[in-house]
Homo-oligomer: A and B are copies of this chain.
Amino acid sequence: MMSDLQGSLPFDNKLHEECGIFGVFGCDDQETAYNIYSGLFALQHRGQESCGMAVNNNGVVSSHKDMGLVSDVFNKDILEKLPGQMGIGHVRYSTTGCSMRENTQPLVLKYIKGTLSIAHNGNLTNTAELRDELERTGAIFQTTTDSEVMSYLIARERVNCGSVEEAVRRIMPRIQGAYSLLVMSPRKLIAARDPHGFRPLVIGQLENAWVFASETCALDVVGAVYVRDVEPGEIVVADERGLTSIKTETPEKTSLCIFEYIYFARPDSQINGLSVYEARQESGRILARQHPVEADLVIGVPESGIDAAIGYSQASGIPYGKGFVKNNYVGRTFIKPQQKQRENAVRLKLNVLGNTVRGKRVVMLDDSIVRGTTSARLVHMLKNAGATEVHVRISSPPFLWPCYFGTDVPERSQLSAVRNSLDEICRSLGADSLGYLELDSLHEMLCGREIDYCDACFSGNYPVAPPKSEASIDQFVK
């Protein structure tokens, strides 16, 4: 439910990945910008702070970007002034303090070989070292984004090699962490995914055009056919000759962020060919086996909890029903109510269906617990509405470790599961029972697919060394 419960309301479990990207190569002049617009629209859940696009009209790049939602930043006039045959777009989510206009993407820059546009999704772990190294050789930085760091590396490498894609290939061993990347040169559109494959990136075909997107749902809205996922460590070049693939070295085991299935991605997307909705349903089925309970009704916390709830209901035989109604009109600008009315604030975003739960033993499915305060409020609302029992089931293991690859997990001291036992958490929620998905069962959620994933936020097993700048980092790495 997290993506919908942010803003200025007193919700605790903000947990976000940075950004979504979309690119298209080979469209008609007037369709490029519309397709990017539609694609960004479908990826809006991955970032609501700012968005932008850069289009390439026979080598001349125009761009438009600003703070705000896709529907606020763009209008017909603006789109019509962005003709082109290829382009890239970006939606950005940002943590506090980095919310500045300068950080909007795509980044468009002039360098020795002409114009380069870049948009990326993820989080590097050796940014500080790279910036330091670049600054020592005369680089100046105008943003705080990893995109600018990567742009410098590509620009400098490009001088010594024959093509942009080769420059991208050469820098990949130097940049560590999570990144899905779109680079637009005067005549090529290049997509690349980090060797661990932390963040998803897919390829689609739209008549004679090629599309790259963070999720397949963005292919659907432009009418593109899903071709395949960009592979971890792969560079895919779209140019007038078609698609070319360049493989770079990858670790033995790749590391797709498992939280993409649990929460980030839209349920109508598929990652590695596996439907996100199916995975969520499956997590509910697993929970029904691992944490069965006698009850009258299974409900889900919108949105992702609903998918798990349907699965729990199927596996348990307990009827599924709607327990909460979400107000879709609650936006970023929602006014924080007075202290006195604060307790009703959660109801502005999420109201309980009193008649449905009254007198019932309820199983409530949610995707995760971060600080625990929102979950406690929801349990309280259900009991207030007359639920006789509330059994909380979480479709992921407890959060115990910070994420360095783009998921905005709070500091360890604020994670309810770090200092409290299961019983303590259950009591603090006011729930009658509490069950998390077990760490060992995460792979079951993937419905038998052979997908290697990163579960470091649950297990502490980091596939890549965390940033050195992080204080007392050793304690986090097992």
Q: List residues of A (86-124) whose CB comes within 8 Å of B's CBs.
A: 101-102, 107-112, 116
Residue A330 at the chain B interface, CB threshold 8 Å: yes
Q: Is the CB of B138 within 8 A of A155?
A: yes
Contact status A223-B328, CB under 8 Å: no
Decide yes or no whether A327 CB sits under 8 A from chain B: yes
Q: A310-B321, A344-B38, A352-B268 are in contact. Are A140 and B109 (CB under 8 A)?
A: yes
Residues 262-290 of A, flagged 1 when their CB comes within 8 A of B and 0 if not, give: 00001110100001011001000000000
- Residue A74 at the chain B interface, CB threshold 8 Å: yes
A333 at the interface (CB under 8 A from B): yes
Q: Interface size of A by Cβ–Cβ distance < 8 Å?
A: 91
Whether B135 lies near A111 (C-beta < 8 A) is yes
Given contacts A38-B337, A156-B138, A335-B37, contact A44 B221 (CB under 8 A): no
Q: Contact residues of A with B, CB < 8 Å?
A: 4, 30-31, 34-35, 37-38, 41-42, 44-45, 48, 69-72, 74-76, 79, 101-102, 107-112, 116, 131, 135-142, 144, 148, 151-152, 155-156, 159, 217, 220-223, 266-268, 270, 275, 277-278, 281, 306-307, 310, 313-314, 319-322, 324-325, 327-331, 333-335, 337-338, 340-341, 343-344, 347-348, 351-356
Contact, CB under 8 Å: A71 / B152: no
A164 to B223, CA, bound (A): 55
Chain B positions within 8 Å of A110 at CB level: 131, 135, 140-142, 144
- Supposing A217-B325, A222-B341, A310-B322 touch, asked if A138 and B139 sit within 8 A by C-beta, the answer is yes
Q: Which of A136, A140, A217 has the most CB of B within 10 A?
A: A140
Q: Which residue of B lies closest to A224 (CB)?
A: B344
Inter-chain CA distance A343–B76, complex, in Å, is 19
Known: A38-B344, A111-B140, A341-B38. A328 touches B328 (CB 8 A): yes
A313 to B321, CA, bound (A): 10
How far apart are the CA atoms of A104 and B416 in the complex, in Å? 45
In the bound complex, CA of A343 to CA of B278 (Å): 26
- Residues from chain B with Cβ under 8 Å of A42 in the complex: 327, 348, 351
CB distance from A8 to the nearest CB of B (A): 10
Are A38 and B348 touching (Cβ within 8 A)? yes
Chain B: minimal CB distance from A360 (Å) = 13
Find the B residue at minimum CB distance from A280.
B322
Q: Is the CB of A314 within 8 A of B319?
A: yes
Alpha-carbon distance between A270 and B320 when the two chains are bound, in angstroms:
20
Complex CA gap A462/B78 in Å reads: 42
**Neighbour of A138 across the interface among B70, B75, B159, CB < 8 A:** B159
CB-defined A-B contacts under 8 Å, sample of 9: A35-B341, A38-B348, A41-B327, A42-B327, A70-B329, A112-B136, A221-B351, A223-B344, A278-B356
Inter-chain contacts of A313 with B (CB < 8 A): 320
Contacting residue for A333 out of B75, B152, B335, CB 8 A: B75
The answer to whether B351 touches A223, judged by C-beta atoms less than 8 angstroms apart, is no
User: In the complex, what residues of B have CB within 8 A of residue A223's CB?
Assistant: 341, 343-344, 347
CB distance from A138 to the nearest CB of B (A): 4
Question: Which of B107, B156, B277, B325 contacts A268, CB < 8 Å?
Answer: B325
A352 to B217, CA, bound (A): 9
List 6 extra interface pairs beyond A111-B140, A140-B151, A142-B142, CB under 8 A: A116-B140, A217-B325, A221-B344, A223-B341, A310-B322, A313-B320
On chain B, the residues within 8 Å of A79 by CB distance are 335
When distances are taken between beta carbons in the complex, the residues of chain B under 8 Å from A217 are 325, 351
